[in-house]
Amino acid sequence: MKQQIAARALVAVGDTPLEDLRAVKVARPVPAPGELLVEVHAAAVTRSDVLSVIGLMPMTVFPRVPGRDFAGHVVEGPAELVGARVWGAGGRELGFTRDGSHAQVMAVPVDAVVPLPAAFSFDEAAASASAYFTAHEAIARAGVIGEGSSVLVTGAVGAVGTAAFSLARQRGACVIGAVRGPDEVKLAKALGFDAVADTERDDLAAVARVATGGRGADIAVDTVGGLLLDAVLRSLAVAGGACVISSAPATPIGFDVLEFYRRDLRLAGLNTGRLDCRRAGEVLRSLAPGFESGALRVPRIASSYPLADAASAYQEVKAGAAGRVLLLPQA
């Protein structure tokens, strides 16, 4: 089947300066067996997208259309799915080893797309996809939680932090947020965290102990990593567990190993780049009741850009956007 020039997309060629990102005409993708085509209405720009474009993600194969998160409608595929509103997220492939969502049209495996919650707009879905995928997997690696348990979330007002808060609260846990600065403290309190620590001035472990009657948190989802990890481990209850999903590059840290094993703690890392879009589909599908009921909140959306202004979107994410930044490929 001959491809037709009928779409626009970002194409990174390796070590691409963000200011040079441009939408260009590309061949409309042809879905392979077991795939379908999605017309993308909204796609988040994540930090991993930025790192990939500038050549800092070793797994990326160039040239490549970046983009992990997507929301849109099916334009080609199984008859029962054509026209359906869908969303999804990638792991090790979308935007890295196969073309991703920063395009007007993308090809994706059928079992990676999930029906869009009726209450969600395309923008809300794109802002939520990889955030909830990551938060769900991080909680699973940190430990089991339920009614009466306690969860510490660092980077609490970021996209993954908001998702971790919502998932923990849905399961009946007390949720403690760690943020940086008075503005983030206000945001965390507005979200409804049971206790909030400002890591610029508060003793995180002390705040966690007060919030949990002296026990400490049963699990922690650490979206910051680096030098904060020692404080996170000191905030855990006996037999508690933590999962780290991010850190600044080459950040040497230390913690008390004797105390770590005596208190029977667990520490795990999560790199969603080792998972895939099919696993993301499973997770988002399993969370559908929470999205439909409104129990699971949409992360803050900082701004939205047309595909033609993608360079600005990427630069905002690199600068540390206060919320999800979206691309709107049909705008």
- Does the residue 294 lie in any domain? no
Whether residue 262 is found in the same domain as residue 320: no
How much of the chain exceeds pLDDT 90, in percent?
Answer: 91
Contact of 231 with 254, CB cutoff 8 Å:
no
Cis amide linkage into residue 249, ω under 30° from 0: no
Whether 218 has a pLDDT exceeding 80, the answer reads yes
Domain count across the chain:
2
Q: Which H helix or E strand runs over 38? A: strand 35-45
Band of residue 247 on the pLDDT scale cut at 50, 70, 90? confident
Give the strand pairing for 217-222 and 195-198.
unpaired
Q: How many CB atoms lie within 10 A of CB 140?
A: 16
In the prediction, which pLDDT does 16 show? 83
DSSP strand E in 96-154: where? 105-109, 114-115, 150-154
Tell which residue, 19, 28, 296, has the closest CA to residue 136.
296
- pLDDT higher than 80, residue 250: no
263/139 same-domain check: yes
End residue of a domain, out of 254, 272, 290: 272
> How confident is the model at residue 253, as a pLDDT?
79
Q: Are 268 and 241 in contact (CB under 8 A)?
A: yes
Containing structural domain, residue 15: 5-116+300-328
Query: Is 172's pLDDT higher than 90?
Result: yes
Q: Compute the chain's Rg from CA coordinates.
A: 20
**Is 122 among the domain residues?**
no
For residues 19 and 106, membership in a common domain is answered with: yes
Residues 96, 61 share a domain? yes
Residues 112 and 223 in one domain: no
When pLDDT is averaged across residues 135-149 and rounded to a whole number, the result is 96
Q: What is the pLDDT of residue 239?
A: 98
CB 328, CB 307: distance < 8 Å: yes
CB 114, CB 84: distance < 8 Å = no
* Shared domain check, 177 and 100: no
Q: Across the chain, what does the average pLDDT equal?
A: 95
Q: What's the confidence (pLDDT) of residue 4?
A: 58
Residue 278 lies in a domain: no
> Residue 255 — pLDDT band, cuts 50, 70, 90?
confident
Which residue did the predictor score with more confidence, 3 or 8? 8
Contact 317, 49 (CB under 8 A): yes
Mean pLDDT of 78-98: 97
CATH at residue 99:
3.90.180.10
Q: Same domain for 111 and 84?
A: yes
Provide the percentage of residues in the chain whose pLDDT is more than 70: 98
> What is the arithmetic mean of pLDDT over 225-232?
92
Co-location of 259 and 311 in the same domain:
no
Average pLDDT over residues 306-327: 96
- What pLDDT shows up at residue 297? 94
Residues 98, 159, single domain; the answer is: no
- Of 124-128, 200-204, 255-259, give the lowest mean pLDDT range: 255-259
Do 169 and 226 sit in the same domain of this protein? yes
